[in-house]
Structure 1
Amino acid sequence: MKKKREHWPGISPEEKARKAVAKYLAKTEPGRVKSIIDDMKPGMLEKYRKSAVVQRLVDSATGRVIDKVGVPTAFRVYYLAFGREVYGRWRRFGARALTNELALVRIKWINRGFSLSILDRVETEIIATLEKEKVPKE
C-alpha cells in the first residue's frame, strides 16, 4: 500500500489551518479587494456599454418584426426573449453549428405555441441587423 504524500510535510494540521486562514484574510482584505475592483471597473463598464448597445439592436429588430405582424402586446416579451436567445446562439456558434442551434431554438418556441413564420422573420431580421452593424462575435 502506498503511503499518502503530505502537501506540506513536517507542518502540523494546526499550522496548515493557521496559514490557510492568514492567506484567506490577506486575500479578502477590504482595501485590497476595493483596489482590484477599481482597476477592473473601467473595463467592466465598457463591456456593459457594448452589450447594452447590442441588446438594444436585437430588441429593436425583434420589435420591428412583431410590430409589422401585429403581435399582441401580451406576447411581446416572449418574442423578445426568443430574439435574445437567437442573439446568444449567433454570438457563440459558427455558421455550421449555428444552423442546427437555431433550429433547436425554433423547435423549442414552436412547441410553446409560437408562430413559425414570425419566429423565422424575427431570426432573419436579427441576424441581418447584427451583420449590417458588424457586431463582433465572441
Structure 2
Amino acid sequence: MASVASLLEDAHKSGDRWATYALGTWYFHGRFFDKDEKKGFLLMLHAAEGFIPDACFDVAVSYETGKGIRKNLRKAGIYYFRGMMLGEKQSIAEVGRLFYWGIGLPKNRDIAKELLNFRETEN
C-alpha cells in the first residue's frame, strides 16, 4: 500500500500545486520527513507561483523572517499581497501591517487603516 508521502510526491510530480504545498510544509516543519527548511521553502515557493493562497502566505512569512531563505522584506510584501488578492484572510492584516509601518512596502497609514478595518469586518 502506498504511503501518503509517496502519493503526495506522485501528485506533485504530476503538477498538483496543492500537493507541492503540502510537501513543502512537511519538509519545512520536519513532519513525516527530516526537517529541511530550504527544500520546504522551495516547494512552497513553487506552489505560491502556482497561485496557492496558503503557500503565498507561508512564503511571505519566510521572506519576512528569513527562515528557509534569505530575508527580503520587499518579496515578503509581494507574497502577502498576492495571498491577499487570492483571498487568504490573514494576508489582509499582514499587508495592512506592512503599509502601516512601511515594511517592504511604502508607508501609507490610510491604506493600512482601510485594510485593517476591512479585516476586522471579515471576522
Q: Do the two structures share a fold, i.e. TM-score over 0.5?
A: no
Q: TM-score range by the shorter chain?
A: 0.3 to 0.5
Q: Give the structure-2-normalised TM-score.
A: 0.33
> Highest CA radius of gyration, 1 or 2?
1
Q: Give the structure-1-normalised TM-score.
A: 0.30
Higher relative contact order (CA 8 A, sep 6+): 1
